[in-house]
Structure 1
Amino acid sequence: MRIKRFLLLFIITIFIIYPFNAVAASTPAKDEVIYTTLSSSGEELDMYVVNSFEVKEPGEFVDYGEYSSVKNLTDLSDISNEGDEVSFTASEDSFYYQGNLDNKPLPWEFSIRYQLNGKELEPEEMLGQDGHFKLEIESSANEDVDPIFFDNYLVQISITLDGGLYQNIEAEEATIANAGKNKQVTFTVMPEQEENFLLEADVTDFELEAIEITAVPSSMSIDSPDIDGVTDDFETLADATAEIDNGVGELVNGITELNSGVSSLREGSGDYQEGINQVSDGSDELMSGSQSINRALQTMKDSIDQDVEAGDFSTLQDGLKQMAEGLKDASEGLTELQQNYENAYQAVEDAIDNIPTHQISEKDIEALVHSGADAEVIDKLVETYEAAQTAKGTYQQVREAFAAVSPTLEEVSNAQNEIATSLETIADQIAAASEGIDIQEGLKELQEGLTALSDNYTDFHGGLEEYTSGVEELSHAYQDLHNGIVELEDGTAELEDGAGELHEGTTELADSTSDLPDQMQDEIDEMINDYDKSDFEAVSFVSEKNENIQSVQFVIKTEGITKDEQEEDEEVAEEEKSFWQRLVDLFK
């Protein structure tokens, strides 16, 4: 009796010290594969899960899931299914069991639509028909399911097309591969994406096998690609845009100088125009005075004999002195006119010389066009550049005519001074003659001198007439040139504004492309991070109570649209009829 009590106490102590371990201390690693059948239109029909365990130590284990029924797929031992607990005993090996789920939604919703010859039909209505076939598959998130699967799983949709029935297959976003005599069309849905795919083909005797859909974790690690070559190209682009910006900056400086020179040109041209107009306006007075001098000389020559006979030389003397004073006044006017003209001419000369002589080639213009600058601004740049060069070239051609005006005025003024001096000398000689010198001899010399003076002055007057006509023509012609210079200044002002805007644009472009390689690398890294799910840890689809989950995969399949399946459905429907229904059918 004591021995029995001792043994009983020993056993109790053992159980106290070492608790009964009906369930293994550690949950074995588990994989879940969810098999789902969809209708041909995408509605969920049924679902079951194959659970597999890597058992390292034999024992009794508990798994969780609200299954409508369970089935041991490993051996013939029973498994318990009470509430959401599934209990089973497993030896040191792999263990599999199937759990059927009712009304458990997938993480994705699939909508599948069929068209034949442009008309949407139920798939069963299309069996055996010919025409142009369209299949549209829409994949979207199921908002009623934990988004962890939608956010981290890669979905592949595979459609097998019989090569004998389908021709001219088109599916822009799919991979099309040969599978024996068939074509395998595969669409891919990235994590966190909703897609709408379209497949088109010409079909004869329509049938379509089941559409297969798999969803697995996108857990592969994506390495950043080697983009050194690309970044080098972008660096070259950044350098090129910086050079364009520098070139445009230099162009802006040149245009600013051009505009400044053209402004000076306009001011000088205005002064020159005013001077040449004054010369032209004074030409009539000059010609009138010269004509009066010419007539006076002729009158003096004709009337000198009468003055000698009268013995009164005072009138002749006074007339000569007045004529000399008139010539001196005219000479002073011409001298002042020559100085004003010289100042105006120098202003025009400086302004024209200030126009830059930069040569802008067609290649430079083409580079500007390809820089993305405003085409209207470029056209203004080219038009203004050409106008400035034309004005400069035109002036070079007429420079000699402008330069000849000032010396001519100076020569005329000097000639008038010399004539005035000669007249004063003659007047003085007449005065001396009247004091007892041989008057007849003096008058004879005077008459000869006046005759020569009158003849020479007639020639001078003719030359002066030609000169004033030329000045008048020059004044009218220069008005057009001045108007062109005014328009040129307006154009260079607009050009300067446009070039400034262009420089702002190229500077912005250069700034935005200066760090383009780094921006591109950041964008690539961000895209890779969006799809790199290497840190994803699997969770159970069946129950959040399940732990130590290695992987969860989804295998989804639609019903096939084939004649064999239609016949099988009819046979099943026939088998489901009662005896009396089949008996009645015999008499129909």
Structure 2
Amino acid sequence: MKKVWYGVITFILCGCLVTPQLVTSAKAPEEDELAALPPIPVEQTVLKDESVYLTLNADGSVKETIVVSRIEAEEAGSYTDYGTYSEIVNLSGSEEPALTDDAIVWNLPSYPEGFYYQGISTEGKAPYSIAISYKVDGKKVAAKDMGGKKGKVDMTIAITPNSDAEKYFKENFMCQVQVPLDLSMAQDVAAPGAMAKVITGKTATLAYMAMPGTKAEYSLSFRTESFSMGTIQISCSASDVSGILGSDMNTIENGVKQLISGQNQIINGTTQLKDGLGQLSGGLDQLSDGANLSAEGSAQLADGLEQYVGGVNQLSGGFEAISDLAEKLKCIVEKLSEMEQVQKVLDDINAILNNEKLQQILDELAAFDPESALPEELKCLAEKLNAIKLPEVDLSEIAGYTDPEKILELLDQVTQLNQLTSAGDMLVEGMNELNSGLDQLADGLDEVAGQTSKIPGQVQQLINGQVSIRDGMSQAMSIFERFMTEGTPKVVSFAAPGKIVPRSVQFIMATDAIN
């Protein structure tokens, strides 16, 4: 029995001694094959930067979008990137990627300076849309037809946030536009709103900017004999406000709040100024109307004074005639005063003539025919007696002027009337001057009222500008608050949002040149 166990043990031991050699002999060929295979690449962490190049038509519309990715590849290994491209080109070597859905796997050797490849993007939108339009002598001309045009050129660049872009790009990316202007081609250049103007040789580079999330529109005008335009460069990059302004954001926040408060006070004050100017304009209108009425009344008063002076002149003429009559009456009175005896004689003659007996004799004589009964002498006597009957003289009207003092008083009144006429003439002349002055005042007030009525509208434009400044400050305040609460936002990939986080993303756009 023991012999059997010894035999079994001996067989097992012998088998154990032989088996390793047999196994070794069996595995040797597999190890040779494995040694001949390339080593499996080590999966590496991808650190990358994205540069997005957009080629634009001359009017700013997009023709093609190319994404150039730079991957840190100091160590050899497998690098997995993501993106949706219609075509991929290795810019650093000859390696070909392995594509699985939107995954792009590169098995790379060491690239100490970084590995570059590009892809033509079929998805994704830039942060801004660019629209470039032209007018020549006031008429719209398509950008593609601008080459060689002559006249006054008005160029407009509209920068509009792209509503289809990722939120990260819309809220954090600013836009810079550089327009190269050939000074040998353009004259009388006007570029309001340009942030900078750099002249190099015969080229003036005009720089414009749009802040994150804001729309901007800029105009450029010049005269040319033959239009041409070089490539317009546009770049969009993240605005690092915290890096620009430093870490003391609380001080900045308080300062901006004070600016907003002060701007609100300015707006309120300007609004009150506008209201006051409106009241001033209304008052000037009323004053102008009153001046016009005063001028009309003054003209009527001047006419009335002229009529008054004319009447006074007529009255003066009448008084002068009376004065002449008074002078004559004065002489008559003087003569009559010397003829008191004559008056008595006349009275006696009248008394005799009024005697009834004498009248009877005269009547009989008148009825008697002297030719037949009386001699020639009697006839003559009768005629003379008839002639003796004188008419009665009525001196009652003259009696009132027998007093020389009254006549002198009348003459003095005539003198005063002449003085009144002279004063009336001076008054008419003064009223004419006053009327002329009132006319000028009315015209001046009309002009002032017309100009003043425009001021409230101009002040409203000022208010609108002040409101825009305040709104801009408020927008800046919201950006500061976002940075204070959220910090620097996480970078989002343009090529594959949510799949990979690049270190940086930038956009470079270039338009076609116009020749």
TM-score norm. by structure 1 comes to 0.42
Would you tell me which structure has more helix in proportion to its own residues?
Answer: 1
Highest Rg: 1 or 2?
2
